[in-house]
């Protein structure tokens, strides 16, 4: 496959230079740079590629300049809104995608022995990842000590078809038919305020009364900007926003600190009992989706992780993930009465702070 890239490049009509061709070019080429190139080619943005790869835009630019220098031609046209692929860049991209698919097949072939070290990449929303999945991962890690879990906690969507992750847990339904996807649970969102907020501003008595209060608003790729106005039945919430953030952790902390009222999952009250659920007839829900590449099941350790991950959202064990709405106070009462044991919560969850 690597030789195929060189063969295609060598056939292109490019200016004669002193650059090496054929096998000598292969010796100079960094295949990690080629992997970075694929991400830039998909996003058509150095900044977006840097976000995906968790590095800086300047690092991405340097690596693409290095790759262009090795190849002897430009891969990208620099545009005001980002970058565009040149004709040569499109040719390299088409072949690099074949290499990426081949590497996935090779991984499936090599990664069958669970006693050897291997990696599973899981992309998940910030709150579910840090406060729900992470504490449970302790037991998974002990049961599978040779599997390294890369837990990417972000409100950005990961493209499992492009192998940015082996499996993703997200709050929006995947719109790609060529990936495996299943709804595995539901989060019920309810308005909460802290005692600090109530002492200063009081609490709303009706849906209309919310207009006279302060709102902590979260906006990010998986939480649309229309959610708060739609749920609150307001044309705009700009006049009542006290803080807007893209971070689930900041969103939760701001509510707990008394900056405003905000929507949190109903079972927040089990981990933050001082927060006050506001009963004014407002609530909504978001479905939890699991998605993965159709070839993921062929990788044994990934398949095992997918099956384990599903159990964490089983409503029979964790009723707050079921379709039926359960009031936060009822969940708190069940939680206290059963001393956590009925819900099979790991000890780390008993004093956890839920960020949303």
- In the predicted structure, residue 327 carries a pLDDT above the cut 50: yes
Question: What is the average pLDDT value for the chain, to the nearest integer?
Answer: 82
pLDDT-wise least confident of 4-18, 102-116, 212-226: 4-18
* N residues, the chain: 356
The angle formed by the CA atoms of residues 179, 183 and 185, to the nearest 5 degrees, is 145
What is the mean pLDDT of the segment spanning 20-44?
72
- Summarize pLDDT for 112-134 with one digit per residue, the tens: 655 678 889 999 999 999 989 99
- Summarize pLDDT for 187-242 with one digit per residue, the tens: 999 999 999 999 999 999 999 999 999 999 998 888 877 888 888 888 888 999 99
Buried b (16+ CB within 10 A) or exposed e, 43-61: bebbebbbbbbeeeeeebb
Q: Tell me if 118-184+287-318 shares its fold with 186-285.
A: yes
- Summarize pLDDT for 156-169 with one digit per residue, the tens: 877 776 677 889 99
Q: Domain 186-285, what fold?
A: D-Maltodextrin-Binding Protein; domain 2 (3.40.190)
Q: What is the pLDDT of residue 355?
A: 44
Please state the domain extents for the chain. 2-110, 118-184+287-318, 186-285
Query: Which residue, among 157, 147, 158, has the nearest Cα to 120 in the 3D structure?
Result: 147
Banded model confidence at residue 14, pLDDT cuts 50, 70, 90? very low
Q: What is the pTM of this model?
A: 0.69
- Output the DSSP codes for 161-203: TTTS-SEEEESS----TTSEEEEEEEEEEEEEE-HHHHHHH--
Per-range mean pLDDT, top range of 91-100, 192-201, 329-338: 192-201
Q: Domain 118-184+287-318, what fold?
A: D-Maltodextrin-Binding Protein; domain 2 (3.40.190)
Sequence-distant (6+) residues with CB within 8 A of 338 are none
Q: Which CATH architecture has domain 2-110?
A: Orthogonal Bundle (1.10)
The answer to whether residues 103 and 324 touch, using CB atoms and an 8 Å cutoff, is no
Residues 100 and 162: their CA atoms lie apart, in Å, by: 9
């Amino acid at each position: 496959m690597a030789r195929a890239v060189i063969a295609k490049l060598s056939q292109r009509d490019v200016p004669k230079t002193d650059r090496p061709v054929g096998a000598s070019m292969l010796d100079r080429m960094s295949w990690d740079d080629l992997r970075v190139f694929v991400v830039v080619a998909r996003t058509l943005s150095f900044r977006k590629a840097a976000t995906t790869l968790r590095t800086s835009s300047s690092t991405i630019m340097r690596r693409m300049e290095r790759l262009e220098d090795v190849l002897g031609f430009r891969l990208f046209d620099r545009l005001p809104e980002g970058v565009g692929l040149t004709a040569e860049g499109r040719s390299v991209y088409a072949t690099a995608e074949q290499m990426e698919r081949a590497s996935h097949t090779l991984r499936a072939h090599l990664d069958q022995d669970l006693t050897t070290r291997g990696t599973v990449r899981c992309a998940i929303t910030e709150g579910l990842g840090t406060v729900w999945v992470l504490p449970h991962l302790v037991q998974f890690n002990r049961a599978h000590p040779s599997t390294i879990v890369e837990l990417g906690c972000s409100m950005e969507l990961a493209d499992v078809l492009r192998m940015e992750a082996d499996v993703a847990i997200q709050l929006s339904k995947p719109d790609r038919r060529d990936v495996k996807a299943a709804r595995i649970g539901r989060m019920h969102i309810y308005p909460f305020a802290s005692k600090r907020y109530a002492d200063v501003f009081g609490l709303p008595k009706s849906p209309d009364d919310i207009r006279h209060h302060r709102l902590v608003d979260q906006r990010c790729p998986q939480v649309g900007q229309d959610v708060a106005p739609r749920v609150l039945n307001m044309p705009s919430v700009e006049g009542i926003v006290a803080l807007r953030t893209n971070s689930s952790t900041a969103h939760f902390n701001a509510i707990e600190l008394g900056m405003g009222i905000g929507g949190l999952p109903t079972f927040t009250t089990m981990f933050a009992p001082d927060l006050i659920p506001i009963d004014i007839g407002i609530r909504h829900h978001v479905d939890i989706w699991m998605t993965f590449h159709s070839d993921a099941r062929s990788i044994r350790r990934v398949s095992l992780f997918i099956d384990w991950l599903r159990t964490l959202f089983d409503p029979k064990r964790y009723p707050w993930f079921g379709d039926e709405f359960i009031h936060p106070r009822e969940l708190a009462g069940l939680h206290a009465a059963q001393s956590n044991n009925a819900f099979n919560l790991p000890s780390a969850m008993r004093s956890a702070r839920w960020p949303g």
